Chains A and B, each alone.
Chain A
Amino acid sequence: MVVEGAELRAAWAIARKELQVARRYPIQLVNGVLQPLYQFLLPSLLLGATFFVGGKALGLEASAGTDDLAGYLFLGIVVGAMVATAFWEMAFGLKREMDAGTLESAWLTPTRPETFILGRAISGGILSGAGSVVLLAIGLLVFGASVAGGVLLALPALALAAVSMVGVGYLVASAVLMLREPNFFVDATNFLFAMISGVAFPVTVLPALIQPLAYVLPTTYAVDLLRVYALGTRPLLAPLVEWVALVVLAVAMVIVGRAVFLRTEHRMRVRGTLGQH
């Protein structure tokens, strides 16, 4: 029990350290908010406007159940940011430690290696959460998104998805430890994970072969419930089923992810390849 308390304190200390580092690069922080806006949201909004009929998104209404294009996309990016946190902050953060040559010395401390990942999850979650709030505000004030108060009902879904993403972060971190050049792997899997979850479009438009994948990703249910409560979109499955899936996936992902990470970390220690990159 005492050990668990110490690990939590260590995770919080790691998160604070990461936040302190982030604060030193204010331009990067601003870019963290602006980049999704100009690289994803604006091109998507403008593409959507090309399909407008009489100023209304009739096609989106037919496929998703809402004609609020801005609301649809800005809510999608909230979950997209969560995915990016797991892939880039939790997992790829290890590569940055490797490059800096500090991974071995950090892992020689009595703190458990998985706690370092957890610390990064906390700081990444705080930063991406703040970024999402700013982006949502831009969506509401500048682009006329209209999000209903029901959005608050979806907050537990986001929390459950965040827990799942900690598990996913462990899995991706294992891959980062094994691959010497993980940049492309992290970039590509992050992109596929977000897209298949339906961050940018309804998953029903995916080919039949890929659609089953969407149903095993926790973020699919999180973004779906978020849009159901905030915009009144048609749910993919009955909301109760989606809630149950979120709980099951949260537990399963953390257990599996942590086990794989610990196994990988042990193998790296045995082979003595932790500092190699």
Chain B
Amino acid sequence: MRGSLLAADLRAFGAAAMKEWRLLRRYPTLFTGFLFWPIALPTAYVFQARGYAGDSQAALDAFASRAGTTEIAGFLFVGWAAYMWISMILWGPGTALRTEQVRGTLEALFMTPVSRLVILFGPIVSQVVWALWMFAIVGGALILFFGVAIPPPAALRALVVILVAVPALYGLGALFAAVVLRFGEVHALVQAVRGVFTVFCGMTFPIVILPEWARAVALTLPPTYLIGDLRKVLLAGSDLASLVPDLAILLSIGLLLCGLAIVAFRRTERYARRGGSLAQY
């Protein structure tokens, strides 16, 4: 009985992911954006870095000693790719639930016998496709336009880092989805969290240049590990064994965030059922 329920939930999980993917496919202009921004945004920062370097070898050496690599383009592209993935995740699940709420289909969805975990995490799965697409675009741009070499073993190690980061980032996304159900609006909170990540997690800079207190904050945030480890495997040739402590922290934070998201979602659902506010927006 339990086994068949699980199988049914898994089928529902696949159906939820497929529905989101079909919706995404209906808006082809989104693909243009996902092609443009992963290249345009970091390229602007590469030009900025060129301005900061001038023709000063001392400035370039200073960057290399702090960042641990001379690949300025690679350093910035990896940071911004992670940022864009995180942005997608912060907006994605919350917006999916909000859209159901606005369309008036959220109550119908909650009436189905499917597990709440499917409702919470199902729409997120389709975004894994976007994440892989974006990292592929970034990798292609780095190889084609900036001559950065990404050997296949390094790309595979990067894929492992991305997969280890999935629970942390998607847990965060699911937590935001719970907030959307509770408060109906998440725009300001997403902007604030994105701001914190941009300032602390080293999208455009190595965190060694932060003051000690800010570095301590950075080390509590999952994107710091994701970005740092991606740079290590792609640009510094690090192997996965040397990253085990970082990956363990990332995974632990991920499990914690997923647990928190589930608890928050259940509480929010109970609150919404009592107050009858599930369809209100």
Contact = CB atoms under 8 A, between A and B. Distances in A.
A64 B47 CA distance: 13
Interface string A207-223: 00000000000000000
A47 B191 contact: no
Given A51-B59, A51-B63, A184 B47 contact: no
B58 A64 contact: no
Interface stretch (B49-57, B167-175, B227-235): B49-57
Contacts, number: 122
Given A31-B191, A34-B195, A188-B36, A61 B205 contact: no
A44 interface: yes
Nearest to A182: B29
Interface string B37-70: 0001100110111111111101110110011000
Nearest to A57: B52
A59 B198 contact: no
Contacts of A1: none
Contacts of B59: 51-53, 57-59, 62
B14 interface: no
Given A44-B204, A181-B29, A51 B198 contact: no
Nearest to B43: A195
A138 to B, nearest CB: 14
Interface residues of B, number: 39
A43 interface: yes
A205 interface: yes
A59 B191 CA distance: 32
B33 interface: yes
Contacts of B32: 184
A54 B195 CA distance: 28
Nearest to A207: B47
B1 to A, nearest CB: 48
Interface in A1-51: 27, 31, 34-35, 38-39, 42-44, 46-51
A53 B188 contact: no
Given A39-B198, A51-B63, A188-B36, A205 B55 contact: no
A42 B48 CA distance: 13
Interface residues of A, number: 38
Given A42-B199, A44-B204, A184-B29, A62 B54 contact: yes
A53 B40 contact: no
A192 interface: yes
B48 A200 contact: yes
Contacts of A42: 198-199
A34 B199 CA distance: 12
A35 B54 CA distance: 28
A52 B62 contact: yes
Contacts of A39: 194-195, 198
B203 interface: yes
B206 interface: yes
Most buried by B among A38, A46, A53: A46
B163 interface: no
B56 A58 contact: yes
B198 A47 contact: no
Most buried by B among A38, A187, A200: A38
Nearest to B30: A184
B216 interface: no
Contacts of B50: 63, 201, 205
A14 to B, nearest CB: 26
Nearest to A194: B44
Interface in B184-220: 188, 191, 194-195, 198-199, 203-206, 209-210
Interface in B1-50: 27, 29, 32-33, 36, 40-41, 44-45, 47-50
B194 to A, nearest CB: 8
A200 B43 CA distance: 12
Interface of B: 27, 29, 32-33, 36, 40-41, 44-45, 47-56, 58-60, 62-63, 66-67, 76, 188, 191, 194-195, 198-199, 203-206, 209-210
Q: Which 9 A-B pairs have the closest CB atoms?
A: A62-B54, A59-B59, A38-B195, A59-B54, A201-B51, A63-B54, A46-B205, A51-B52, A205-B50
Given A53-B62, A184-B32, A191-B40, 13 more contacts: A34-B195, A43-B203, A46-B210, A47-B49, A47-B76, A50-B52, A52-B59, A59-B56, A63-B50, A63-B52, A69-B52, A200-B48, A201-B52
15 contacts: A34-B195, A38-B194, A48-B52, A50-B62, A50-B209, A51-B63, A52-B59, A57-B59, A59-B54, A61-B54, A62-B55, A63-B51, A181-B29, A191-B40, A201-B52
